[in-house]
Amino acid sequence: MAKQTAPSNNVKKSFTNSRYFSFEPGFFKKYWQQVAVLFALAVALYIYSVTFDYVLDDQIVITKNEYTKKGFSGIMDILKTESMQGYFGEQKNLVVGSRYRPMSIVSFAIEYQLWGLNSFMSHLINILLYAFTGILLYRILLMLFPKKEDQNPFLSIPFIASLLFVAHPIHSEVVANVKGRDEILTLMGALGSIYYTLKYLSNQNSRYLVLSAVAFFFGLMSKENAITFLAVIPLTVYFFTKATAGINWKVTAPLLISTAIYLVIRYSVIGYFLGNGEKITDLMNNPFAQMNGGEKLATIFYTLLIYIKLLIFPHPLTHDYYPYAIPKMNWSSIWSILSLLIHVGLGFIAVKNIKTKSILSYCILFYLFTISIVSNIVFPVGTFMNERFVYISSIGVCIAGAWFFVSYLPGLQGGKFKSLGLALIALFVIGFGAKTVARVPAWKNKLSLNAAAIKYSANSARANCFMATALFEEFQLEKDEAKKKAMLVDINKYINRSLEIYPDYYSALQMYAGVVGANYVADKNLDNALAGFYKILSRRTTITYVDQFLEYLEKMPDTDKKKIADFYFDLGYKVFYKEKKFYNNAAKYLDKALKYNDLDPKANYAMAIVMSEIGDYAKSDQFKQVAIDQDANVINYFIEKLQ
């Protein structure tokens, strides 16, 4: 390795032209004050979350995951199965590539063994892991940007970047939502791999290459996003050390081995790499399902612009970016075009300045490499975007911000400062911290989370459905009839809005079925109830609550049975025979209509037509004969009114 050169007194030159990587021992002894500040800040920003419930996808990985709830004995099941199997009971393949992220779920199983279902401990562990990640980032940045003798460590690139990272409100979902631990563990593994790679370069001890590979494997097993560090780590070695290309390949080789092992394990568990050949058509798992190629790409670039905006100005924040909180875009949109130009420009700047090893070039490439895997460009990730997706990528922005502050703000060079420079740093850190404190309470429980989301994701089918669901749970517990009536108004508003956005949304139709039932209990309006169930069954016939409630209505002595028979006739003949051509479903509902009056000429003739389409001509003739025997003119009814 080339002999290291002492840092120049010219700070701007040293940060833009030459790298002065060094390993300084005694980190905690020398920088305990900075470490204490980072730890205290992380705890202060998120400590309130220890009082929070489990919310959102926590049920998939914790509260309703059968493997997690086995404790230690469930760990092998977690390692051997797709990450949602413990919740669904089988591999569902709901999203492209499925999910194999066992490490965080293993940690939840260990928690369950030690403390049971304990949200306090889950949130506390997230906070401590987040604080540790911020400290680890600081340690690595000190190796990349060694402090000059006369420099105040509180005003250095490593500390300012780490401070911005810990305070950044876009991380609130990762920390305050227990499920977000997969992101934290992924970054811990990736940063650990960088740390041990740099340790190896400082003393050439091969055991650090082994530790680097182990840490990287840990990151991959937490979430596949760590794979982007196959580019980030050699990039870091190139920019910040004087290692030759051969040495860079040497430190990258163990990471490739870890990746190969991970991919083999993942393939053996899931059965494929990126897809099993099945097209994902559900809008909630493939938001681009109803877009053409141009619309998809324009929408992706629009989301990439939002990411940049939120990393600089993190408002508003929401956990829900499902269809159509993000609108469908095309290339007539100025925002999509602007985003494309910005990203092309960033790429140009990064490539142009690679040879000079510009810090800005490094930050841009770090950001672009790490966001690529969640951008929807490489493969669909199941939603338009999500704030937790840029948890890792935000490091590039934080380093760039710190570099700008130290290199260009008045008076920060050389460890001195003036009020303007310090005030601008304080503005960002305090502003980020204040926004984080304001955002964290949204994660307290289901109702608070969905109430916060609906403010900024009002056009999301999912946000409206989840808000209706959270309110419905409160509605069922409420005893005051006046309050229940008022709540039902809001529930109807949100669930109808959800179905207006996405009429085939299964979860919303399920919730809507419950709301229709609750409305009937409140007002006894059979016409409205049947209209609601008609809307549901014409979209989905697999919602058991509808069948159960209809059976309940049929058993009630004061129910107008003719209306129910007509309901089944319209559903069977008009919807499933004429509109959808689903003949088995048509026969099912026409049979229900005939149970009320097996001699009804209209229902018998409709069944005859359906049986003919199915190919059962004997039954078709039987039903037709019954119809004609009861009403010789029944055929005219179909010709005049229904054909």
Q: Write out the two tokens for 530.
A: 């049947």
Backbone angles phi, psi at 291, to 5 degrees: -120, 155
Question: What is d(CA 549, CA 514) in angstroms, rounded to the nearest whole number?
Answer: 9
Query: In 3-state terms, what secondary structure has residue 63?
Result: helix
The pLDDT assigned to 7 comes to 41
The pLDDT assigned to 422 comes to 80
The pLDDT assigned to 278 comes to 75
In a domain, 622, yes or no: yes
State pTM to two decimals. 0.90
Q: What is the CATH number of the domain that holds 512?
A: 1.25.40
Structurally, how many domains does the chain consist of?
Answer: 2
The pLDDT assigned to 641 comes to 61
Q: Write out the two tokens for 552.
A: 């309940």
In a domain, 580, yes or no: yes
The pLDDT assigned to 177 comes to 97
The pLDDT assigned to 20 comes to 53
Question: What is d(CA 248, CA 251) in angstroms, rounded to the nearest whole number?
Answer: 5
Question: Do 520 and 567 fall into the same domain?
Answer: no
In a domain, 506, yes or no: yes
CB 234 within 8 A of CB 252: yes
Question: What is d(CA 63, CA 53) in angstroms, rounded to the nearest whole number?
Answer: 11
The pLDDT assigned to 495 comes to 97
Question: Do 588 and 521 fall into the same domain?
Answer: no
What's the distance, CA 445 to chain centroid?
Answer: 18
Low-confidence ranges of the chain (pLDDT < 50): 1-18, 414-416
Q: Which domain holds residue 534?
A: 460-559
Question: Do 518 and 578 fall into the same domain?
Answer: no
Question: Do 547 and 476 fall into the same domain?
Answer: yes
Q: How far is CA 433 from CA 88, 159, 323, 426, 455, in A?
A: 38, 16, 30, 10, 21
Q: Which of 525, 559, 593 is the last residue of a domain?
A: 559
Tokens 């010709």 appear where? Answer: 639
In a domain, 396, yes or no: no
Q: Among 517, 605, 603, 620, which residue's Cα sits nearest to residue 565? A: 603
The pLDDT assigned to 277 comes to 66
CB 448 within 8 A of CB 54: no
Question: Do 477 and 555 fall into the same domain?
Answer: yes
The pLDDT assigned to 10 comes to 38
Question: What is d(CA 64, CA 61) in angstroms, rounded to the nearest whole number?
Answer: 7
In a domain, 52, yes or no: no
The pLDDT assigned to 379 comes to 83
In a domain, 162, yes or no: no
pLDDT tens, 104-147?
A: 999 999 999 999 999 999 999 999 999 999 999 999 999 999 87
Question: Do 570 and 505 fall into the same domain?
Answer: no
The pLDDT assigned to 413 comes to 53
CB 613 within 8 A of CB 572: no
542-545 own/partner pairs: CB under 8 Å, 24+ apart? 543/509, 543/510, 543/513, 545/510, 545/513, 545/514, 545/517
Q: Which of 511, 541, 559 is the last residue of a domain?
A: 559
Q: Which of 559, 588, 603 is the last residue of a domain?
A: 559
Question: Do 564 and 552 fall into the same domain?
Answer: no
| Per-residue burial over 301-321, b = 16 or more CB atoms within 10 Å of its CB, e = otherwise | bbbbbbbbebbeebeebbbbb
Strand stretches in 148-210, DSSP E? none
DSSP state of 373: T
Question: What is d(CA 396, CA 164) in angstroms, rounded to the nearest whole number?
Answer: 11
Q: How far is CA 253 from CA 161, 256, 507, in A?
A: 29, 5, 46
In a domain, 286, yes or no: no
Question: What is d(CA 452, CA 441) in angstroms, rounded to the nearest whole number?
Answer: 9
Question: What is d(CA 222, CA 187) in angstroms, rounded to the nearest whole number?
Answer: 9
CB 214 within 8 A of CB 226: no
CB 368 within 8 A of CB 347: yes
Query: In 3-state terms, what secondary structure has residue 507?
Result: helix
Tokens 């709301």 appear where? Answer: 515
63-72 own/partner pairs: CB under 8 Å, 24+ apart? 63/117, 65/105, 65/108, 67/105, 67/109, 68/105, 68/108, 68/109, 68/112, 69/112, 69/117, 70/109, 70/112, 71/109, 71/110, 71/112, 71/113, 72/109, 72/110, 72/113
The pLDDT assigned to 1 comes to 37
Question: Do 610 and 623 fall into the same domain?
Answer: yes
In a domain, 99, yes or no: no
